[in-house]
Copies of this chain bind each other. A is one copy, B any other.
Amino acid sequence: MEMGENGLLKKIYGSFTAGGKGLKKRKTDGAFGSVILGPGDDAAVLRIRAGTRLLLSKDDLVEGTHFERSWADPRRLAARLLAVNLSDLAAMGDVKPLGCLVSVGFPADLPADWALGFLRGLKKASSRWSVPVLGGNLARSERVYLSMTIVGSGESRLIRRAGARPGDILAGVGPLGEASAGLDLLRRGGAKARRRGGVPRWALPLVRSFMEPVPQLEAARRLAPLLTSMMDNSDGVLRTAETLAQRSGVRLRLSLSETPASQALLRFSWERGIELRRHQALGGEDYGLVFTLPARRWEEARRRVPAVYRLGEARRGRGVESPWAATKAFEHFR
């Protein structure tokens, strides 16, 4: 299968996660369990009763694609697995996680420590975020895969990817570029990185950003009443803006002049000789949020969540205006 090129990938991808036609709004006849939002947003939405919605989403971590056993600590992988799934819920607004289900594929010769480490990490993460593990599946597999489904509940007003309007402010919350720097360090550090020997001390916060991203549930809860559109920035802020622009039918002007960057990230970009803002625009893996809101509500948003930062604004038109646009083909399949 040729990836990221032919129509096939789009077709498959569209069927599973993000229909090109935008959100598929189905029956909203009010029946119990009717589908309000199918594939295509951060989470699917079912009607449970007047004013109450059930949210469901799925995200996987696959050995050889998202991690290597050589450098990934299984306890931290469990933390990442839950965090990236919780991020899907946060991206829908004011959502309370109810629980998760976990399918794992483990090789027959997987060291016992690895499996137990994952289990301990899952229990710890489950307890940290108060998300019970409801069930799951264990299968034999040549390489490790970790597949999670997250379930949450929310009120009827959820924030979709479509909804940004001309004049809105584009903004974000959470780290930018920290996690992808951490991933790069882990890959280069290899087996030593797992034991923290392959990564310099100053860079450990970057590794932590990758392995244990913090889902923005609380920020999403506080900001939700003010927002017109939202999604998480796991694909990088540039691609995220492209998706929001496409779904909302607006043009987004993107600037990263006001975004945060840790001391470790500044040093990372300096030592590597890479442009910080470009790295932040394309990086991904951070699981912060990108959202839009009417300009008149910006001050209120800052009061509610002081860590929000401005990323630009929405205008009439299409696409994203930024110094980094069109630098890379859209590549979702990983």
List the interface of chain A (C-beta within 8 A of B).
Answer: 1-3, 6, 8, 11-13, 15-17, 26, 32-33, 35, 38-40, 43-44, 46, 48-49, 52, 54, 56-60, 62, 64-66, 96, 98-99, 101-112, 114-116, 119, 123, 132-143, 145, 147, 149, 151, 153, 332-334
Contact = CB atoms under 8 A, between A and B. Distances in A.
Given A1-B111, A56-B149, A60-B105, A65 B139 contact: yes
Contacts of A43: 135
Contacts of A141: 62, 64-65, 143, 145
Contacts of A333: 138-140
Nearest to A85: B137
Please give the count of copies of this chain that the complex contains.
2
B137 A60 contact: yes
A56 B65 CA distance: 28
Contact of A1 (B56, B58, B108, B332): B108
Contacts of A26: 132
B142 A60 contact: no
Contact of A12 (B12, B108, B116): B116
Closest 7 CB pairs of A and B: A44-B134, A149-B149, A16-B136, A33-B98, A147-B147, A44-B135, A65-B140
28 contacts: A1-B110, A1-B114, A2-B112, A8-B112, A12-B119, A12-B138, A17-B137, A33-B96, A33-B153, A39-B133, A40-B135, A43-B135, A44-B101, A44-B134, A46-B98, A46-B99, A57-B101, A58-B101, A59-B103, A62-B139, A64-B141, A65-B140, A65-B141, A66-B139, A139-B333, A139-B334, A147-B147, A149-B149
